[in-house]
Amino acid sequence: MRNERAVILGLSGSERAGGNTDLALDHAGELVRSRGAAFHTVRLREHRISPCSPCGDCNNRPSPCELRDDMPGIVEKMKQADGIIYAVPVHGFGLAHLMQIFIERAGVGYLRFERPLADKVGGIIVTGRRYSDSAVHDQLVNNLLLNRMILVGSGFPVLMRNTSPEPGLHDAEGLDALERMVHRMVDMAEMLRAHQEATGRLPLPRLDLNERIRGRRGVPTA
pLDDT at residue 1, rounded to an integer: 36
Please state the φ and ψ torsions of residue 47, each to the nearest 5 degrees.
Answer: -125, 155
Q: Which of 13, 155, 138 is nearest to 85 (CA)?
A: 13
pLDDT at residue 3, rounded to an integer: 59
pLDDT at residue 126, rounded to an integer: 98
pLDDT at residue 62, rounded to an integer: 78
d(CA 192, CA 119): 9
pLDDT at residue 212, rounded to an integer: 65
Q: In residues, how long is the chain?
A: 222
d(CA 22, CA 97): 16
Profile the chain (222 residues) by mean pLDDT over runs of 10 residues: 79 96 98 97 95 76 83 95 98 95 91 90 97 97 95 94 94 97 98 93 80 58 44
Listed in sequence order, the DSSP H helices in 64-132 are 71-80, 97-106
d(CA 126, CA 132): 10
Residue 88, strand partner residues: 126
